[in-house]
Structure formats: C-alpha cells, structure tokens
Amino acid sequence: MFRIMFAVTAAACSVGLAAAGQTAPAGAGRAAPDGAALYAARCADCHGADATGVRGPDLTRLWGAGATDERVFQLIRQGVAGSIMPASTAPDSEIRALVAYLKALGTADGRDPARGSAAPGEATFWRSCGGCHRVGPRGGRLGPDLTRIGVTQSADALRTAIRRASAAIVPGYQSVTLVTTSGAKVRGLRKGEDAFSVQILDTRERLQGYLKAELTSVTRDTQSLMPDYGPDRLSDAALDDLVKYLSMLKGQK
Ligand code: HEC
Ligand code: HEC
C-alpha cells in the first residue's frame, strides 16, 4: 500500500513540473490523478477505508442524498469550518479525481443515482402518482405526503418504493381487506381499530367506520395499496426522471 501511494505522489510531482513548463490546455494528454490512491492517503483515516465513516461521516451516500459534483468539490476544497474536516490546497484535478472516486463508490454502477430530468419527471408524477400523493397544496391523500420526500429518502430508496411498493410499507399505511356479513369486500388503509370497530380510508379517500359485529373478517394485505411500477408501466428512463423530480422535493411551500 505504501509503495503504491509513493508512486502516485511521484507521478503527481512530475505532472506538476510538466505543467509549469508548458502552455497546453489544462488536462491535455496528462495521466489523470488516481482518486482511489488519493482517498486512501488523505481521507481514509477519518472516513474509513470503504468510506462508510469512522471519525468523519459516511461518504457513500452523498449523491443519493442529493449532493452534486460541484457541492462535493467545494466541501473538499473548503473543508467544514468548526470541525476536523480540513480544507485542501490540492490541484483541482486531484479534487476532481476524489469527487469521481466517491461518486463511483456511492452508486453500484458508478452512475449518479439522481440522474434524469426533473421536468418530464414532474409531468409523469401528476399523470400517474398525484391522484394518491400530495406535493405542496396539490394531490391526493391516500398515500403519504411527498412534499419533503427528497430530504427523507435517498434516490435509491425512491427507486425501490416505486418499483416494488409492497417491499416495505410506510407505517400508518397498512392496507386491509374487510369482508362484511353480506359478503361485500372493502379495501382501504387501516386508520384505527379497537375491540368493536375498525376505521379505514377507502380508495375514494372516504374515512369509513365498520362495526366488527357486521364483519366476517379483517385481513392485513401483504400488497400495498400502491401498485408496483415495473418496467412495463414505467421505463428506466421515465423512472430516472421521476426520481430526479422527487429528489428535489425538499419542502418548499
Ligand atoms: C481529520 C479527519 C478528516 C479528514 C482527514 C477528512 N475528513 Fe472529511 N469530514 C470529516 C468530518 C468530521 C466531517 C463532518 C464535518 C461536519 O459537518 O461537522 C467531514 C465531512 C466531509 C464531507 C461532507 C459530508 C456531508 O455529508 O456533508 C465530505 C464530502 C468529506 N468530508 C470528504 C473528505 C475527503 C474527500 C477527504 C480527503 C481529501 C476528507 N474528507 C478528509 C473529517 C475528515
Ligand atoms: C393508488 C394510490 C397510489 C398511487 C397511484 C401511487 N402511490 Fe405511492 N404510495 C401509496 C400508498 C398507500 C403508500 C404507502 C404504502 C406503501 O409504503 O406502499 C405509498 C408510498 C409511496 C412512497 C414511500 C413514501 C415514504 O414516505 O417513504 C413513495 C416514494 C411513493 N409512494 C411514490 C409514488 C410514485 C412516484 C407514484 C407514481 C409512479 C406513486 N407513488 C403512485 C399510494 C399510491
């Protein structure tokens, strides 16, 4: 490990010398600095060899939490005042290599998890999702309010919530099926229950109370009331756009 780091440092020096003596455009024809080696030498002590955090925070979820390349670049350049996170005077090319390294670590496929375009994502949202979800003053009430979803959920968690809604059901949104003594089935979200009655929000957003004496069964559904949006209903590109839009919802009025 030490030997590798030494070699990189030597390479970085020769790049610096070459740069001083030439007028070629920045970056032309030079070996790019190795982000992994720079990370191991300068950041791993505090952020952990795998970047999941030791004395400093986990750096593998920055993009998932909505960070941009520029923001991470500035964090590394300027450090965090009032903390042990140091500022850096390294050349831009080295900081860019660190940013690229962290970005690739944070996403299994090395792509930005919040890739996509917000405008078409917003259009998809109001076409397919707004009937059940609110953003600001608009939308339905069957599903959770998503006005601040970009703060509370990573882009990857949003992908799972959309592709496989039933994989994890948000507390308070358990779907139940009631069967009445006359044989009718009613599906809705369980909003309250005691020994004698159960209250549900039905799929038309009406809060309905049923006496248990009038029901033959109350079953907790394993399926969410929210449909799964598989690739047949929502292409990967449309999902990217939708997640981009949702990632930007941070509670503005
Ligand atoms: C001496 C320990 C230390 C070293 C060395 C260090 N960091 Fe940090 N870093 C921290 C701490 C502590 C924080 C949290 C600061 C705060 O917000 O209070 C932090 C925060 C950060 C953040 C912001 C994280 C967030 O969630 O906002 C980034 C990005 C970061 N460090 C990257 C790096 C990189 C890249 C390096 C190597 C060039 C590095 N750090 C070196 C301790 C360190
Ligand atoms: C028929 C109503 C309905 C539709 C349509 C619907 N959802 Fe949902 N959604 C729900 C309900 C109910 C829940 C809570 C139960 C669960 O977790 O599955 C939920 C949960 C979610 C969550 C998790 C929220 C959290 O707080 O963690 C997200 C994100 C979400 N939906 C996004 C979407 C998106 C994006 C679409 C459109 C592609 C969509 N939903 C369409 C009803 C719906």
The string of pLDDT tens digits covering residues 10-39 is: 344 333 333 333 343 444 446 778 999 999
Structure tokens at 129: 């999702």
Least distant ligand from the CA of 223 = 2
Residue 53 pLDDT greater than 70, yes or no:
yes
- How far away, in angstroms, is 249 Cα from ligand 2 center? 15
The residues facing 190 across adjacent strands are 200
Q: How far apart are CA 130 and CA 122, in angstroms?
A: 10
So what's the pLDDT on residue 253?
46
- How far away, in angstroms, is 191 Cα from ligand 1 center? 43
Q: Which class in CATH covers the domain with range 175-220?
A: mainly beta
The helix (run of H) or strand (run of E) holding residue 169 is none
Q: DSSP for 207-237?
A: EEEEEGGGEEEEEE-SS-SSPP--TTTS-HH
Q: What 8-state DSSP symbol labels residue 85?
A: -
What ligand 1 atom has the least distance to the C-alpha of 39?
37
Judge whether 85 and 56 are in contact, CB under 8 Å. Answer: yes
The string of pLDDT tens digits covering residues 117-143 is: 899 999 999 999 999 999 999 999 999
- How far away, in angstroms, is 239 Cα from ligand 2 center? 14
Is the fold of 2-106 the same as that of 175-220?
no
Extents of the domains making up the chain: 2-106, 118-169+227-247, 175-220
So what's the pLDDT on residue 181?
95
So what's the pLDDT on residue 20?
37
Structure tokens at 155: 């882009």
What ligand 1 atom has the least distance to the C-alpha of 65?
26
Domain 118-169+227-247, second-level architecture: Orthogonal Bundle (1.10)
* Encoded amino acid at 144, one letter: P
Residue 219 pLDDT level (bands cut at 50, 70, 90):
very high
Tell the residue nearest (CA) to atom 24 of ligand 2. 144
Which residue is it, tokens 């509670």?
251
- How far away, in angstroms, is 11 Cα from ligand 2 center? 51
Q: How far apart are CA 244 and CA 253, in angstroms?
A: 19
Task: Report percent pLDDT > 90 for the chain.
Answer: 60
What ligand 1 atom has the least distance to the C-alpha of 43?
37
Least distant ligand from the CA of 42 = 1
Top pLDDT among 20 and 205 is at 205
Tell the residue nearest (CA) to atom 18 of ligand 1. 83
Give buried/exposed letters for 63-90 (b at 16+ CB in 10 A, else e): bbbbbeeeebeebbeeeeeeeebeebeb
Instruction: Supply the angle between the helices 35-42 and 92-106 in degrees, to the nearest 10.
Output: 90
Q: How far apart are CA 121 and CA 143, in angstroms?
A: 18
CATH number of 2-106: 1.10.760.10
Average pLDDT over residues 193-221: 94
Judge whether 103 and 229 are in contact, CB under 8 Å. Answer: no
Nearest one of 231, 217, 205 to 178, comparing CA atoms: 217
All residues at 6 or more sequence positions from 223 whose CB lies less than 8 Å from its CB, including other chains: 166, 175
